[in-house]
Structure 1
Amino acid sequence: MRRKTLTALAAGASALALSGCSLMQPVDISGFAAEAPDPDATVVRLANVYEPGHPANTCGTATMKEELAQDGIDLKVYPAGQLGGEPEIIEQVATGALDIGISGGSFFGAWYPAAEVVDGAFLFENSREYDRATRSPLLTHLYDDMAEETGLRVFSSWYYGARNITANKPVRSPEDLRGLKIRTPDAALYLETLRALGGTATPMALSEVYLGLQQGAIDAEENPIPTIASNKFEEVQSTVSLTRHMVQGVQLVASEKFMEGLSEDERTAVLEAADSARLANLKCIEDEEREILEQWRAEGTIEIVEDIDSEAFQQGVKENLLPAKEWGDLYLEVQEELAADTPTVVGTDPEDSPVFADEKTEEQS
């Protein structure tokens, strides 16, 4: 069997031009892949914006890479924005210059506005609600409709974390956001959400945030705890306020053309590996959220502010964000589906996975 390359990344020139990068190499984030690649392996390229040390890579893409290797598929991972930001990654997937991209829901809004709903502020209370909702009927059908209309197939959703605000002062209420230049990703929904919460948003690439905070170009930023830690933002900010204003994840996206180009066995392998990676990533992020906060408290690394006026923030979202979004009704339907405890339709539940066996042991003891 001759080597197959399932991407036009020989159109890599165009992809790299988009990102403004010179020739890039995939990063070995898994530890096991030091051996020479199988010359007969099917090559699949995946890109994301997260640092190699972020759980999305150390647990998510690393698990996916290891499982796919067993099925004769060589997953090449390009982390840390090597091939551009999330808009560029989605564009490259759409054009066939990249096989799989990972992006937050807000960035799909330019392609299919209703897909933004998963990044709606205060839509989910915790990681398990996020994981359940993104595998349930409403959002599964949403992604089917998106694929039919755009040719972009979201085939797995991974928990990313609860977003919190770091600054050089506590942020307990919307009033505390006034006058702060707060970095957000460069997607319309983030800017609109920060305005609804009472703040002023400044879009900026994640790779530029540390220097922006250090030099005072921005005053604050908002991210999940593992992202704050992996980018060392606690070194240049004095407080982290646990607003948890967005419990969110990231989506794995491929073009329908790419998926159809895989053999049935390859497609099954990709879907199953992505689901295993979803569970491994969920476990790692939940553990890191807890462990990082424990370490920061023990070492006094950064002031942790927990007395948040969540109702005031939520009121701003209800009054200033949802009425302006075409997916406002879908947002409410997702919450109703969660309240009704609708069975999931795709993927393995965490409770049924050996990845979470230690939780069952703790519950029984």
Structure 2
Amino acid sequence: MFTIRRSMLGVALLVMALTSASCAATGSTPAGVTTLTLGHTWSKTDANAEAVQAFADEVQRESGGSLRIEIYPSGQLGDDAEALEGLGLGTVDMWVGGSGVYSQMTPVGQFLVLPYLYDDIDDAMRHYNGDLGRAVQERISRDTRTRVLAFWPRGARHLTLNSAATTPQDIAGLRIRVPENPMILRSWQAFGASPTPMAFGDVLTALEQGALEGQENPLATIDSAGLSVAQSTLILTGHVIEPTAMSIGASAWERLDEGQRALLERIANGPVRDGLLDFVRSEETRLEGELAEDGMQVVRPDRAAFRDRVAGLAERAGPVVTELSAMAEAS
């Protein structure tokens, strides 16, 4: 069983009972061993990074060392958009990150950040682990030279500001940093704000200098990035639950035999993913309290008012998003 806990230092650690000295990585690749590169943008101590490491360890263990995942954390292979592009080009074998980045390749990436589509993280993962998830995976494979092996859980996105806000009227015209995604841009325009795409690494400085008035992210990101030093208020909008995608490029997939492919898919959709879901659930409550202790005012807004502002966005995004949205609402 895989579990994720908090250490005494407050760092998310993934504890695996299935490791052994025989599967320790070496500095060279023996004959008959297939090695896949995997890039992500998290630091090694992030819970998501620990889950990726656990996945890699289990792949190596179950393959008897014949299949290895070589992990490059902290954006060593580029940011999410660059690493995902590398999958299509064959310069990167695997990538794990926020699935909305797929908007640069396929309309499905807009669906994955459609606002107020799910009740909570459990509802979202029920959909992504079922028929809807398979339909999304098939469409991504059809539209891109990549394949999503699994969707992993991620906390809901919330808004931070330097003032309280309970309705869309309260954020009218405010400069809110958002990722570069057409659906996210349209969502915040519908809320009445002035969405401002910006690299996340520049956000804290922009907030401190007044170039931005707010930003939106999962609680874990708000906490780990130290945004409470520049933002006084946490507004629990919960407007998007965007899953993490674990993806592999077509070139890498074609190098694998059927057994290796099945192994990757099984482990990606196994106990590591489920352990991460347990962790995300517990972290949502803990982080809300921790950010409040850091001095942030926690506001519970009128979510229905925000939801009403984005009604009909799916239909305006085109047939792919409309079809997937209808499928989600029907299941």
C-alpha separation in 2, matches of 1:221 and 1:273: 34
Are 1:54 and 1:227, in contact at CA under 8 Å, matched by a contact in 2? no
Q: Quote the Cα distance in structure 2 between the aligned partners of 1:196 and 1:51.
A: 34
Give how far 1:135 is off. Answer: 1.9
Unmatched tracts of structure 2, length 5 or more: 1-12
1:290 is aligned to 2:280: no
Contact residue 184 and residue 203 of structure 1 kept, 8 A: yes
Corresponding residue SS for 2:78: coil
Kept in 2, the 8 Å contact 1:105–1:117? The answer is no
Q: Determine if the alignment matches structure 1 residue 232 to structure 2 residue 223.
A: no
Are positions 1:44 and 2:33 aligned together? no
Whether the 8 Å CA contact 2:158–2:218 is kept in 1: the answer is yes
Contact 1:127 1:161 in 2 (8 A): yes
Matched residue type, 2:48:
A
CA deviations over 1:297-322 (Å, ceiling 9, x no partner)? 4x35311111x111111111104x23
Q: Distance in 2 between matches of 1:61 and 1:252?
A: 9
Matched, 1:198 2:192: yes
Secondary structure of the residue that 1:102 maps to in structure 2? strand
* Residues 121-200 of structure 1 aligned to structure 2 (within 5 Å): 121-200=115-194
Aligned position for 1:98: 92
Task: Give yes or no for the alignment of 1:278 onto 2:273.
Answer: yes
| C-alpha RMSD over aligned residues | 2.2
Deviations 1:154-200 (A, max 9, x none): 11111111000011111211112123211111222221111122211
Tell me the SS of whatever aligns to 1:166.
strand
Moved over 3 A (4+): 29-39
2:207 equivalent in structure 1: 213
Q: Which residue of 1 aligns with 2:4?
A: none
1:261 equivalent to 2:255? Answer: yes
Taking the aligned partners of 1:269 and 1:88, their CA distance within structure 2 comes to: 27
User: For the Cα contact (< 8 Å) 2:237–2:303, is it kept in 1?
Assistant: yes
Q: Is the 8 A contact 2:157 2:219 kept in 1?
A: yes
The normalised TM-score by structure 2 is: 0.85
Name the count of aligned residue pairs. 305
Contact 2:84 2:95 in 1 (8 A): yes
Q: Which residue does 1:63 correspond to in 2? A: 54
The TM-score normalised by the length of structure 1 is 0.77
The 8 Å contact of residues 106 and 189 in structure 1, kept in 2 or not, is answered as: no
Hey, what's the Cα distance between the residues in 1 that align with 2:29 and 2:299? 53
Q: Percent sequence identity over matched residues?
A: 25
Contact 2:49 2:73 (C-alpha < 8 Å) held by counterparts: yes
Q: What SS is found at the alignment partner of 2:97?
A: strand
DSSP 3-state at the match of 1:243: strand
- Does the CA-based 8 Å contact 1:55-1:285 persist in structure 2? no
